Amino acid sequence: MITQIFKNDYTDLKNKLRRIRPFFLVVFLILTFNFLLLTCLYCQQGGKFVFSQLKYSDNWDTRPTAWDRISEYLLTTTSVKIIPGRRVLKLSDEILYWSPFIVIAGNTDHPDFTETEIQILKRYILCGGLIFIDDSSGKKGFGFDKNIRDVIRKISPENPLDKIPVSDAVFKSFYLLKNVPGRITTNRYIEGCKIGERYSIIYSQNDLLGAWEKDNLGNYIYPCSEQQRWETKKLMLNIILYSLTGTYKSDTIHKSFIQNKLQ
């Protein structure tokens, strides 16, 4: 009797395994394909920093030449290896998850993302990606600012936007900054959503990208003082370096050196 029961259980188990075998085969093939795709992308990217920008249906490309200037400065001032061209992405692109730093720029009403797109952005930051949002409108509480805040609340409900203190690693990842600059001064602070010890979303309303824009003759397009422009550029570079180094400059070993430099 007992032997028959075990026999029947064993037969049932074999039948169940036979039925789910195709499922595991499909999963294996998908994982293998993704691995080969990521390996191919890694070979192409070669571990270099790539400036990725999100394309959406509204006015997404407010500062189209900023990356050209930023990339020149990164090459001449830092040891960061970069891919010169800007990578323009849609949320449906597979390469999104091989782009650890993404810019969302805007100055008009931002379109509502679909629930599927919200889930993609949520998954992106949970996987370690950093989203930098730059508002160049100079307007608080409506337009781009209002809409993008609604989007951020949906992306990061458990970790809402908060002011980033100037003591944070964002302000010392490359340059040591004592305050929050911008081409325009909409806020005296930048904001961020923090997951663990690291900011996964950084939001500025001070048009950081606008400080880099030049026309074909090499003249700056958007006005501000030279000191203001220089400080703004430093913060933009710090944000990029922060995306690469995280909280490295907050380690105890750096604290005494940084405190002396800031005095």
DSSP string, 22-45: HHHHHHHHHHHHHHHHHHHHHHHH
Does this model's pTM top 0.75? My answer is: yes
Can you tell me the distance from the alpha carbon of 240 to that of 130, in angstroms, rounded to the nearest whole number? Answer: 10
Q: Write down the domain spans for the chain.
A: 1-46, 48-250
The amino acid occupying position 86 is R
Note the pLDDT tens digit of each residue in 64-74. 999 999 999 99
pLDDT for the residue numbered 19? 67
Round to whole Å and give the CA distance between 131 and 194.
11
CATH classification number, 48-250, choose in 1.10.3810.10, 3.40.50.10490, 3.40.50.12140, 3.50.50.60: 3.40.50.12140
Residue 43: per-residue pLDDT: 45
Task: Count CA atoms within 13 Å of residue 197 on its CB side.
Answer: 9
Report the pLDDT averaged over residues 99-112.
88
Own/partner long-range contacts of 139-144 (Cβ < 8 Å, ≥24 apart): 139/186, 140/186, 140/187, 140/205, 143/107, 143/108, 143/109, 144/106, 144/107, 144/108, 144/109, 144/110
pLDDT digits (tens, 9 = 90+) for 31-48: 554 444 445 444 446 678
Q: Check pLDDT > 50 for residue 212.
A: yes
Tell me the residue type at 156: S
Predicted local distance difference test score (pLDDT) of residue 51 = 95
In whole angstroms, what is the distance from residue 121 CA to residue 135 CA? 18
77-81 average pLDDT score: 92
CB 213 within 8 A of CB 237: no
Ranges 105-114, 135-144, 251-260: which has the least confidence: 251-260
